[in-house]
Amino acid sequence: MRRLTVLLAVLLACQSLIPAGAADARHDRHDRHDRHDREVRFATFNTSLNRGTAGELRADLEAALEGDVDPQLGAVLEIIDRNDPDVLLVNEFDTGTDGDRRTVRMFAELAGYRYFFTAPSNTGIPSGFDLNNNGVIGGPEDAFGFGFFPGQFGMAVFSKYLIDTRRARTFQHFRWADMPGAMLPTNPDGSSFYSDEELEVFRLSSKSHWDLPIVISHRKVVHFLVSHPTPPVFDGPEDRNGTRNFDEIRFWADYVRPGRASRYIYDDDGRDGGLHPGARFVIAGDQNSDPLDGDSVPGAIQQLLEHPRINTRVTPDSRGAVEASRLQGGANLTHRSNPRFDTADFADGAPGNLRADYVLPSKQLKIRDAGVFWPVQGAPGSELTGVFPFPSSDHRLVWVDVAARRGRRC
């Protein structure tokens, strides 16, 4: 009853935004399990639910549970309700130093998820070093991951299926220098941008990397591999953020390769190695890397898109992204990537719209359908995505429906 009361409050908060006929779009989605009882929808959504001060998001969630729904939070919840993911990664969600379970639990209740997971993020945790080499120690750029307070821009996972937390692996503390052949940044003269002392503590993940086993059924487990690499901008000629982005993406490319390629990896509990051979997986997150456009190091996202273990036969797309690219023009006019695959509306900035968010299943998982929630103007739901300043987020929810082929339990 409480879940119904909260959902009605959210819908009322968004009532002026929701046109007639919107319920029909949801109805088709809810029939999916009747058509394919083994089909699971995995999704990623950079919700921009980061706030300016610690505890502010928690206060917004507490108010929402009492029926006072912040408009942006309400729009985010409505987008999730319309798309109805079974397993969802939320990026840019403030979680606190230790992963604020209370904040995540409240969001799970509002969004209708029984299971959830969060863990500490590197964002906002002071490193004690001058990592941006500006002569001053302190501030968001000298944290292990950019953030004004611990846990800002963090992440959380929500699921309708059991998350096997006993077998979950986190990689928050994995050192960048421990990756063989790491693309560590250098100054124009060839010297290392970071000192030896800094490299001794510098962490690869700007937030974290998580391997979460999702128990789809007794004999079907899918590893949800989630992260949020740093944007490859806001740096200098050393390209410290671009190179870190490249290697954060590379981490998963190595992790899903059994044997030598992933032997160097260790998790926060000291367990070594990557994913077991034959294990099913879905890689998800705001990777901050477009295949052809933007500022990422060339080939960064291709490490996943061209991976022999990853299924890329279906690419999530939308008509709204094509329309936005045409209407906004600017940098979009010179892009080489197909605008139908864009997932982020950056028209207010130099790069234009990009494909930044990905849901990439392993080849054991058959893709039945996929999409990006980016309605064309005037269509049901378009008022939830909108244009800058956005009602919800500058990123769009990306989803993929998969069916697990028969095989071993992993």
* pLDDT per position as a tens digit, 37-59: 469 999 999 999 999 999 999 99
- Using alpha carbons, list the distances in angstroms from residue 69 to 11, 65, 302: 9, 8, 40
Span 13-31, mean pLDDT?
37
Question: Which residues lie across from 347 on neighbouring strands?
Answer: none
For the chain, give the mean pLDDT. Answer: 91
The three-class DSSP label of residue 244 is helix
The three-class DSSP label of residue 128 is coil
DSSP of 245-305: HHHHHHHHHHHTS-GGGGTT-B-TTS-BS-PPTT-EEEEEEE----SSSSSSPTTTTHHHH
User: What pLDDT was estimated at residue 349?
Assistant: 67
The answer, yes or no, to whether residue 172 has pLDDT greater than 90, is yes
Span 147-155, mean pLDDT?
97
Residues 34, 43, 366, 312, CA torsion sign:
positive
Amino acid at residue number 334 = T
The answer, yes or no, to whether residue 213 has pLDDT greater than 90, is yes
Domain map of the chain by residue range?
2-404
pLDDT in tens, 294-305: 999 999 999 999
- CA atoms within a 13 Å half-sphere pointing along the CA-CB vector of 275: 26
pTM score:
0.92
pLDDT in tens, 250-278: 999 999 999 999 999 999 999 999 999 99
Domain 2-404 matching CATH 3.60.10.10: the answer reads: yes
CA–CA separation, 242 and 237 (whole Å): 10
Closest CA to 360 of 306, 297, 294, 299: 306
The stretches of 164-229 forming alpha helices (DSSP H) are: 196-199
Of residues 218 and 108, more confidence is placed in: 108
Of residues 27 and 208, more confidence is placed in: 208
